[in-house]
A and B are shown apart, each in its own frame.
Chain A
Amino acid sequence: MNKKTIIHIIDDDEAVRESLKLVIRSADYEVVTYHSAEIFLKKFKPESAGCLLLDIRMPGMSGLELQALLPTLHIYIPVIVMTGYGDVPTAVRAMKAGAMDFIEKPYNHDQLLNRIDACVNDAKSRETLAQQLKGINRVELLTPREREVMTLLVDGKINKVIAAELGISTRTVEAHRANLMEKLQAKSLSDIVRISVLRNKQLISAPY
């Protein structure tokens, strides 16, 4: 493990920022914190790039705005976006904008550290990608109805709404959802979102 790898955290909430710093430090990473996107842009040095943990909701420049700005400033750094619990649409938008990954607050810390590791470690990153690609391929196993349900879930819709839109009962939606999660080997909604976004990227551009 590269001890020099620096993890950057941008979060306006001091308590969250400082506690997160302790967690990541406990995994033997260097951590630099910033309380706004603007300060990050001012202080960031490209050579120290390891990974960026970015809070989506911030006063001033938001996480998504910063994400959009980075390529234009020729800053290339893997970004993990931190979103509120169940904020699927924002996660989808972040992923589409090029985020490597996203994680919901409050975190599963092991998962968080794994994702960070994956981001900074090429090999692990590839492995994760392969796993995700497997997931992408498994989409082929889904029935048309299950795919419809998946699309709507990724749009951030809740079961009741999906049921209404498809003209089926909520219970049926729940059944479809359980089935598709099993087929995709997804543990959570965020897994579904990840698979969906990656699959769409794959369909548009060449796969990794």
Chain B
Amino acid sequence: MKDIKTLNDNQLLQQLNLSKASLADRTSENDLDYLALDLQIHQISLELKNRALRKSQIALKQSRDRYTELYDLSPIGYVDLDKKGNIIDINLTACKMINKERAQIQGGSFHRFLTQNCKNTFAKHLQRVFDTKQKTVNELELQTPWQNIISIRLESIATNNDITHQVSCRSAIIDINASKQALTTLNTKEDFAENLIQIAPSIILVLDTVGNIVSVNAFFELLTGYSLVEVKGKNWIETFIPLREQDHIHSLFYNATHGNRAAGNINPIMTRSGDEKLIEWYDTALLDNAGNFNGILAIGQDITSRINVEMALLESEHQLRLITDALPVLIAHIDNQQCYLFNNKVHHQWFSLSDAEITGKHIKDVFGKKAYAILAPFIKSALDGEQVACELQLPIKNKNDCFVMVNFFPYIPNSGTLNGFFALMSDITQFKHREVDVLQRLITLAHQSRLNMLGEMTSEIAHELNQPLTAISNYCAAGLRLHKVGKLATEEIPKFLSEIIGQVERANQIIRHLRDFTQKRELQLKKLNLNDLITDVLQLMVGEKHKYDVSLSTALEAENACVLIDKILIEQVILNLLRNAIEAMADQKNQNRNIIIRTLTSNTNTIVVKIIDNGPGLSDELMSQVFEPFFTTKEDGMGLGLSMCRSIIDTHQGKLWVTQNARVGTTFNIELPLHD
């Protein structure tokens, strides 16, 4: 037989059955054999039992190890203590908490890991566990030489050891440090809240169920002038609410006590100094744990100044409305999307619409497509942040010949980003028509004045015309006479004739000039050289010049003298000024009477004509009056000459003014814009 130890369990069972069968077959012939067989059966049975035991032993060990592992790695510390507080067993988590090796502390006292403060508590805890066998919970503090203090909760029960029948204290050690810290923070927060309550710029008021004051904060004291001590227990409504408001507040309070809160109620309260402060209130009902009404917490905002500011704002808005409505200008605020934010009364009345029909609408819808097409580029400029000013003729429905003066101001508030633009518009249609009327009248007046002027100059002009006529007549007479006596050489005839033609042309020019000058005509702006024009005008002045014995010289220095003007009107102005200068000097005896006409370009945009005389000059008083209508120094003058001249120059976007010469005489200055 093989060594049974080398056989596996099945072989062993086979052998056992084999041995038992052999035993049954045998008689007791040989007791020794029988005995040996019986022994073998026992041996096998024993081996089998041993093997089963070993298996259960291994299983048991595995189970115990698993338990130990669980025990040691549990997030909760476990410790078994005896009656004296010595450590019977401790898991790794607990060891970690006290930062010690298990072997070091097993059997040692747990007391030494506790702070001095809680040693007593621990002793009582232990005693209670052993005495009462009830679950006992206490908060303690662990302390180790290298560790900070750790707050723990010790939850202990009494356990019986099955083997020793010894009672021990099994404790769970729960680290409550994190929650403890949170609690500390919570305490700090409470302090913070308390501080907040005290320093908040709001009233915080606690009333009891009947409306008596329980507590107030510092701001309340500051605002009302009463301290908490003075007002505690007093009835809120009777003490602080003005009589006229008391009924109202009573009912609000009643509602609040019945769960109907009125948030945002505004009412005045009386201060110690007798002022009233307007407070906006936010109430919260205070409920006890059972949910019963326990009082009111009210937070109040002093809105006295805010209300004042709001009132002032409303007032100024109202005023602004009044002003913008009263202004005879169309005012609107257009947003970045070209829609109306605001428009004044004149604006919507002009369109025969109501405010509501315009506000929020797109400009296109208000002005109409045609007008919008004209406005669009200007709107774009305004929304690009550019200021716009122009006169436009807009095709507006139900309006004929409509002229508007348009001003767009981009609106850039303090934030720095464009918020649309303000549109200011004036209907200048009538003004435009008047402008045309005025121009028409000016043209008529100028024509009349030219006729008058020529009337006064008739004899001088006749004299001028007489000169070429005399010469013509002379040439003809001389020719005839020479011919009569046979002395006219044939080759001399062309000379005579061309002289005559020259003189006819001379007369013609004067007549043409006169005809132009006496014609009444519309404004005709033409590109002209001002220097040439002055030379032409002087032709009409030859007679006057002689009559009054005046020297007329020119200094036409302006290199660029190109202007867009009505020739006749500007000639008239210059003629007028020249005649004035001549007449002013007429009374000067035995003196050189000089007039210089100068042109110069003072800057790149304008040309200036200066008519400089050496006459007696004008007094300061006269200087300021000469351009006024109906002002005259002449006995027979109408006094319209210079005022008309100024109107004519104004019509040409120019300026006419008078200056005193440094030594003698006066200078009349005409400034006209140059034309490219």
Question: Which residues of A pack against B, CB within 8 Å?
Answer: 13, 15-16, 18-20, 22-23, 25-27, 57-60, 62, 84-87, 105-107, 109
B471 closest partner in A (C-beta): A15
Inter-chain contacts of A60 with B (CB < 8 A): 549
Query: A19, B466: Cβ atoms under 8 Å?
Result: no
B495 closest partner in A (C-beta): A22
Query: B487, A109: Cβ atoms under 8 Å?
Result: no
Which of B466, B468, B478 has a CB less than 8 Å from the CB of A22? B478
Query: B473, A59: Cβ atoms under 8 Å?
Result: no
Inter-chain contacts of B469 with A (CB < 8 A): 105-106
Inter-chain contacts of A25 with B (CB < 8 A): 478
Query: B506, A105: Cβ atoms under 8 Å?
Result: no
State the CA gap A180–B471 with chains docked (Å): 33
Query: A19, B475: Cβ atoms under 8 Å?
Result: yes
B503 at the interface (CB under 8 A from A): yes
Distance (Å) between the CB of A107 and the closest chain B CB?
7
B629 at the interface (CB under 8 A from A): no
B360 at the interface (CB under 8 A from A): no
B484 closest partner in A (C-beta): A26
B543 closest partner in A (C-beta): A57
| Known A-B contacts A26-B487, A57-B546, A59-B545; A85 and B471 likewise in contact (beta carbons under 8 Å) | no
Inter-chain contacts of A20 with B (CB < 8 A): 470, 474
Query: A87, B473: Cβ atoms under 8 Å?
Result: no
Query: B470, A107: Cβ atoms under 8 Å?
Result: yes
B482 at the interface (CB under 8 A from A): yes
Inter-chain contacts of B499 with A (CB < 8 A): 15, 18-19
Q: Which 7 A-B pairs have CB atoms at the shortest separation, nearest pair first? A: A19-B474, A22-B478, A15-B471, A26-B481, A109-B477, A106-B470, A57-B546
Query: A15, B506: Cβ atoms under 8 Å?
Result: yes
Question: Which residues of B pack against A, CB within 8 Å?
Answer: 459, 462-463, 466-475, 477-479, 481-482, 485, 487, 499, 502-503, 506, 545-547, 549, 551
Query: B467, A13: Cβ atoms under 8 Å?
Result: yes
Query: B471, A107: Cβ atoms under 8 Å?
Result: no
Q: Is the interface of B mostly helix, strand, loop or mixed?
A: helix
A112 closest partner in B (C-beta): B477
Q: Is the interface of A mostly helix, strand, loop or mixed?
A: loop
Inter-chain contacts of A15 with B (CB < 8 A): 467-468, 471, 499, 502-503, 506
| Known A-B contacts A58-B546, A85-B462; A16 and B481 likewise in contact (beta carbons under 8 Å) | no
Query: A19, B506: Cβ atoms under 8 Å?
Result: no
Which of B459, B474, B482 has a CB less than 8 Å from the CB of A16? B474
Query: B546, A22: Cβ atoms under 8 Å?
Result: no
State the CA gap A16–B465 with chains docked (Å): 12
Query: A26, B471: Cβ atoms under 8 Å?
Result: no
State the CA gap A203–B468 with chains docked (Å): 40
Inter-chain contacts of A105 with B (CB < 8 A): 466-467, 469-470
State the CA gap A13–B543 with chains docked (Å): 12
Inter-chain contacts of B487 with A (CB < 8 A): 26
Which of B459, B473, B475, B479 has a CB less than 8 Å from the CB of A84? B459
State the CA gap A26–B477 with chains docked (Å): 9
Inter-chain contacts of A87 with B (CB < 8 A): 459, 463
State the CA gap A97–B470 with chains docked (Å): 25
Query: B478, A16: Cβ atoms under 8 Å?
Result: no
Query: B471, A16: Cβ atoms under 8 Å?
Result: yes
State the CA gap A20–B470 with chains docked (Å): 9
Which of B471, B481, B547 has a CB less than 8 Å from the CB of A13? B471
Inter-chain contacts of B471 with A (CB < 8 A): 13, 15-16, 18-19
State the CA gap A87–B466 with chains docked (Å): 12
A12 closest partner in B (C-beta): B546
Query: A84, B463: Cβ atoms under 8 Å?
Result: yes
Sample of 8 A–B contacts (CB below 8 Å): A15-B506, A18-B499, A26-B478, A84-B462, A84-B463, A87-B463, A106-B466, A109-B474
State the CA gap A105–B474 with chains docked (Å): 10
Distance (Å) between the CB of A88 and the closest chain B CB?
11
Query: A16, B467: Cβ atoms under 8 Å?
Result: yes
Distance (Å) between the CB of A188 and the closest chain B CB?
16
B496 closest partner in A (C-beta): A22
Inter-chain contacts of B506 with A (CB < 8 A): 15
Which of A18, A26, A84 has a CB less than 8 Å from the CB of B482? A26
